[in-house]
Structure 1
Amino acid sequence: MKTDKEILLRNLFENWAGEKAENVLPLTAHGSNREYYRIIGGKKQAIGAYNPDLAENKAFISFSRHFKKMGLNVPEVYAENLENHVYLVQDLGDITLFDFRNSKNGFTGEVNAVYEHVIDILPEFQIRARKGLDFSICFPRDRFDRQSMQWDLNYFKYYFLKPAAIAFHEQELENDFQSLTDFLLTADQDYFLYRDFQSRNIMIYEGQPYFLDYQGGRKGSLHYDLASLLFDAKADIPPEQRNALLERYIKRAGGIITIDRQKFIAHYYGYVLIRILQALGAYGYRGFYERKTHFLQSVPFAQKNIAWLLDNNKIPVKLPALMDVLQKIADRKFVDLDTQDDGRLTVRIYSFSYKKGLPQDDSGNGGGFVFDCRFLPNPGRYPEYKNLTGSDAEVIKFLEKEPAVHQFMQSTQTIVDNAVDNYLSRRFNHLMVCFGCTGGQHRSVYFADRMAAFLKNKYNINVILKHRERDTA
């Protein structure tokens, strides 16, 4: 049964595209209350968004058009019906920078090269694109000022510290919050602050990074967005690469404006701290209060970043009460949150060829899912793809042109997502997910890769990916 939102989006799509919307596929929600749909017609497709917050929609659309005019890689806005809270934007696929990093099994040279490219682009948003930007439509404030910082710090205090039962002295902690805020505000605040510049808001589309979720942008310092990217908890960037990317940014931004390196680095680590505290507040709000427990599984990664800051003496101002709290967080064993023990859920994902039978389940549990990809278009029938696999960009592009591929992906992700949530709540420790096709080389490999990236992005669980035929060819 079609919802009112879907009907509105179908009508908007058909008016824009001049053709019927053949499929409207809901996309998996993450950390916001916005709802997204992939809308597919005969020749065109788009992402449809529903968001009841008019001010946020206006900010997103205004910023998108300005950034596009400035030559930056953001989704094109195709059409909007703001009276009914819907709009259409360019479909940039399903691969985020976070997914790309996970698909390479670590912070490889290839992943580092993409991060370097992103670092080079960041000052274009912050410095060059601020010119002509309408800051009057910023949501919810036009500047990352004292009030904004206090909101973030109280978010951390009330939604993470208190529900996690971490003891603190209220007045002394408030005094440190004021000291930290005073220090942060000594940095120049007249740049565009993206606000959520992290790996899940950067898409990899046709080999290039594209940028999303800047509707919360406002005036602020340069440091916050850099901290958001480099201390993105689950991205888990190694300290050596993080430091090299910091130096690259200083050189790149320093080619546009004058930067005092010593002062910049001191302010940078102050903004790293407030960003980590804001993120912990978000994990607590989504996890403790909204009961979306997978958000709490990011806490151990934040603990690791806090421990690094403390061990390397990177906090640039004296904050005794806050340091005490941070040490308690770093030392705390979050038994209910950290699943890095023997009972941690492991999802084994296989691609295989039906010609050689189903993969063997060595867990002793039986069950799981087997998804048959053979009804989908087969790249292996075309000479140009015959020696490639479903992990290669050319094959990915071929498959992602097909509406049935997107629909199948969404359906399988929904099924497995529901199972993982249930298994976590019941403390099960094994799930097997298999994708089969004719040769085990193209379609099954593609879907196994996508499923692994999806689960690694959403959950702190063991994901073991095995391409049975591809890896033994």
Structure 2
Amino acid sequence: MTPSLSPEVASRAKARAAFLHNHFHADPQQVTALDGDASFRRYFRIAHRENTFILLDVAPEAGSVSAFVELNKVFSAGQVRVPQILAADCALGFVLLEDLGTQHLADRLSAQHLAQEDYESLINMLPDIARIPASPDMKPYDAAFIEMELDIFGEWLLTHWLGFEITEHWQQQWANLKQALVANMQTQMQVTMHRDFHSRNIMWHNQQWVVIDYQDAVQGPVTYDVVSLLKDCYHRLPEVQFSHLQRYSFEVLNEAGLLGLCDYDEYQQQLALTGLQRHLKAAGIFARLYLRDGKPGYLKNILPTLQYIQDTAECFDAFQWLATSLQSEIIPLVKAKLEQQQ
């Protein structure tokens, strides 16, 4: 017996069907839910008359599609390939998109394609993204916002998931860490950054890279998208390849005039500290996705992300306390929690 849908789910399905019927002037042959998005957004593959499309569905009470629609125009004007929008109703929260297929950068890596060429071609895109003009649809990426992102780690991973005791000494060290990371990110050249430029948000379609999930783009530090790509929470590059690509990214951004007077040593430090902020945020978000949103699939990404944090913290005298705490307390607690999940 098929379980009945809740009134909210049934109402949303009815609104979705009406939007599609209004666009196609008929009911599509098939509507298939797609999984894997780490947000309140839902995606469906629509089959109609031998063509397929993607439907973005965001219930108005959960969020808005306005930034997705408006930044699509901004990115396109900046010569960055994003999905073509075929129809949109921002009030209802529906956007119909071209179907880009299923091949992400992550799939090309798992299929053992020539990864270095892929990464170099993506790094070559970064100046085009960086030069996209600021938009009213980009949220301010200021000190308060950067600190809020960092606090997701303490709130969701340490306190809510691990039950880790945050002492007064820890709080003081943490406050110093936040101050240092905010300063690092704000002293860099501020450019447009995608903010989630990683292997699951970059697709290969018709022999071209297409960037998806760009709706959270902001103006922020120039190294942020580099670290998102090269220190990906879902795929760790071999050290030799990472070193080559880090140097290559410096050369590309420097030639584009996006690094000011920054030399390579300073660039490496900026990138490392920017990665530390991003990975602390991401580890907290993975725990929050499980606890708040009922998405346990991201738990497996916590340990690799914590390893990035430990590796970076070990390189800075001021952050040895964090490296030690991770190694002796936090990572063992995470491993024990993950064993309980099995």
Instruction: Please give the alpha-carbon distance, in whole angstroms, between the structure 2 residues aligned to 1:119 and 1:173.
Output: 32
1:140-219 to 2 correspondence within 5 Å? 141-142=139-140, 144-162=141-159, 163-168=161-166, 169-189=170-190, 191-219=191-219
Once structures 1 and 2 are overlaid, which stretch shifts more, 300-309 or 14-23?
Answer: 14-23
Q: Which blocks of at least 5 consecutive residues in structure 2 are unaligned?
A: none
Q: Is the 2:79–2:128 Cα contact (8 Å) retained in structure 1?
A: no
Cα shift at 1:197 = 1.2
What's 1:21 paired with?
28
Instruction: Please give the alpha-carbon distance, in whole angstroms, between the structure 2 residues aligned to 1:111 and 1:296.
Output: 26
Q: Which blocks of at least 5 consecutive residues in structure 1 are unaligned?
A: 340-423, 428-473
Cα shift at 1:34 = 1.0
1:399-438 to 2 correspondence within 5 Å? 427=342
User: CA deviation digits over 1:143-180, x for unaligned, max 9?
Assistant: x2101111111101111122324444223322322233
Q: Could you tell me which amino acid in structure 1 is paired with residue 177 of structure 2? A: D
User: CA deviation digits over 1:317-341, x for unaligned, max 9?
Assistant: 73454444344467636334556xx
| Aligned-partner SS, 1:84 | coil
Instruction: Please give the alpha-carbon distance, in whole angstroms, between the structure 2 residues aligned to 1:257 and 1:182.
Output: 22
What's 1:8 paired with?
15
Q: Is the 1:193–1:225 Cα contact (8 Å) retained in structure 2?
A: yes
Instruction: Please give the alpha-carbon distance, in whole angstroms, between the structure 1 residues aligned to 2:96 and 2:331.
Output: 46
Q: Is the 1:97–1:204 Cα contact (8 Å) retained in structure 2?
A: yes
TM-score between the two structures when normalised by the length of structure 1: 0.63
What's 2:296 paired with?
293
Instruction: Please give the alpha-carbon distance, in whole angstroms, between the structure 2 residues aligned to 1:258 and 1:102.
Output: 32
Cα shift at 1:14 = 4.3
Q: Is the 2:71–2:137 Cα contact (8 Å) retained in structure 1?
A: no
Cα shift at 1:61 = 0.7
What's 1:272 paired with?
275
Tell me how many residue pairs correspond in the alignment.
327
- RMSD over equivalenced CA pairs, Å: 2.6
Structure 1 172/291 Cα, relative in aligned 2: closer, same or farther at 3 Å?
Answer: same
Q: Could you tell me which amino acid in structure 2 is paired with residue 301 of structure 1? A: P
What's 1:76 paired with?
84
Q: Is the 2:184–2:274 Cα contact (8 Å) retained in structure 1?
A: no
Instruction: Please give the alpha-carbon distance, in whole angstroms, between the structure 1 residues aligned to 2:329 and 2:206.
Output: 41
User: CA deviation digits over 1:205-261, x for unaligned, max 9?
Assistant: 223221111111111111111111111122111121112111111111222215323
Cα shift at 1:285 = 0.9
| Aligned-partner SS, 2:74 | helix
Cα shift at 1:13 = 3.6
Structure 1 270/234 Cα, relative in aligned 2: closer, same or farther at 3 Å?
Answer: same
| Aligned-partner SS, 2:79 | coil
Instruction: Please give the alpha-carbon distance, in whole angstroms, between the structure 1 residues aligned to 2:104 and 2:15.
Output: 27
Provide the identity percentage.
21
Instruction: Please give the alpha-carbon distance, in whole angstroms, between the structure 2 residues aligned to 1:289 and 1:20.
Output: 35
1:362-401 to 2 correspondence within 5 Å? none
Higher Rg of the two aligned structures: 1
TM-score between the two structures when normalised by the length of structure 2: 0.86
